[in-house]
């Protein structure tokens, strides 16, 4: 496997991460997961924009231009023959003797490599269960940082309870999933948490909002409560790797009639259409 290591494509065995890399010691870095369909990136620009924004929010800079990164990532896909899959991209503040404050004059460290990714067809078709978990993460969830312990702990709790995803809530308000954005449908209106510091503004969320606005759907970027969830007609989650997945049960309570709803179904098919149309561009 070829890996993007700084600005070089090298063999996997060639990559040695330093003991004092700040990503390794502090989780001091940012990342992206970008989907590849039929050998072509989907929403690459949007992911790179978010990557740069996350880095800048943490006062980190790429050591070369986004244009160069874009072309290196395309090379990475080609050299690894990625057809259907994804690319994991990460930037850390680099290597320096361990101390909390930012090192002076240290170069950031960039790595990227292919991830296997398969469409979760069964889940997309039948819907999934979620486990409600209190959102104990920090207050900058808008930054796609390497610090994922809150997310990791929540996902594990979901798994141990036989659920596909953890649905996070803060003070009775639903924020998002541990690695997904969340939507609730009630009386024909689609609700999703506004893009504040409390959620990651998903690229799938942005694309889906385009679809929703193009269609005859009603959308409100407004948070919903755990109480609203009990009375929801439909619910679903989105992300780069799962696309649109219906949620049919939360903590052993059925959502709607316990089946994926008609608006969710429609959005699933429109999202697939979006992937197809961007592919042919
Ligand atoms: N929220 C969180 C916390 C996530 O980790 C992810 C996955 N990156 C998402 C939402 C969905 O984002 P995207 O659609 O860009 O994959």
CA 50 to mean position of chain CA atoms: 11
> Does residue 174 line the site of ligand 1, with CB under 6 A?
no
The answer, yes or no, to whether residue 280 has pLDDT greater than 70, is no
Q: Residue 257 — pLDDT band, cuts 50, 70, 90?
A: very high
159 is known as an active-site residue: no
pTM of the predicted model as reported, rounded to 2 decimal places: 0.98
User: In 3D, which of 242, 247, 269 has the Cα closest to residue 260?
Assistant: 247
pLDDT tens, position by position, 210-233? 999 999 899 999 999 999 999 999
pLDDT tens, position by position, 55-69? 999 999 998 999 999
Label residues 55-89 b or e (16+ Cβ within 10 Å = b): beebebebeeeeeebeebbeebbeebebeebbbeb
> Does residue 54 line the site of ligand 1, with CB under 6 A?
no
Report d(CA 50, CA 30) in Å as an integer.
Answer: 10
Q: Does 1.10.3720.10 match the CATH number of domain 121-279? A: no
**Mean pLDDT for the stretch of residues 157-176:** 98
> 185 C-alpha to center of ligand 1: Å?
20
Instruction: Identify the CATH number of the domain defined by range 2-116.
Output: 3.30.470.10
Q: Residue 278 — pLDDT band, cuts 50, 70, 90?
A: confident
pLDDT tens, position by position, 131-149? 999 999 999 999 999 999 9
> Does residue 239 line the site of ligand 1, with CB under 6 A?
yes
Q: Residue 279 — pLDDT band, cuts 50, 70, 90?
A: confident
Instruction: State percent of the chain over pLDDT 70.
Output: 99
Atom of ligand 1 nearest to the CA of 32: 8
> 105 C-alpha to center of ligand 1: Å?
32
> 104 C-alpha to center of ligand 1: Å?
31
Where are the domains positioned within the chain? Answer: 2-116, 121-279
């Amino acid at each position: 496997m070829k890996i993007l290591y700084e600005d070089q494509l090298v063999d996997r065995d060639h990559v040695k991460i330093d003991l004092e890399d700040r990503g390794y010691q502090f989780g001091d870095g940012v990342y992206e997961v970008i989907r590849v369909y039929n050998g072509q990136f989907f929403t690459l620009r949007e992911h790179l924009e978010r990557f740069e924004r996350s880095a800048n929010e943490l006062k980190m800079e790429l050591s070369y231009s986004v244009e160069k990164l874009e072309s290196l990532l395309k090379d990475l896909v080609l050299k690894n023959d990625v057809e259907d899959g994804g690319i994991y991209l990460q930037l850390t503040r680099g290597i320096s003797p361990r101390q909390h404050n930012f090192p002076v004059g240290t170069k950031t460290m960039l790595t990227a490599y292919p991830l296997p990714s398969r469409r979760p067809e069964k889940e997309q078709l039948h819907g999934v269960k979620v486990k409600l978990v209190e959102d104990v993460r920090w207050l900058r969830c808008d930054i796609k940082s390497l610090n994922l312990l809150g997310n990791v702990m929540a996902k594990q709790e979901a798994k141990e309870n036989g659920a596909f995803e953890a649905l996070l809530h803060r003070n009775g308000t639903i924020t998002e999933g541990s690695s997904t954005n969340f939507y609730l449908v009630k009386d024909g209106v689609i609700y999703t948490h506004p893009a504040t510091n409390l959620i990651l503004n998903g690229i799938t969320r942005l694309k889906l909002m385009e679809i929703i606005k193009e269609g005859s759907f009603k959308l409100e970027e407004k948070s919903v409560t755990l109480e609203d969830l009990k009375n929801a007609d439909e619910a679903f989650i989105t992300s780069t790797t799962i696309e649109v997945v219906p949620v049919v049960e939360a903590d052993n309570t059925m959502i709607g009639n316990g089946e994926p709803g008609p608006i969710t179904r429609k959005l699933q098919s429109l999202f697939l259409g979006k992937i197809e149309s961007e592919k042919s561009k």
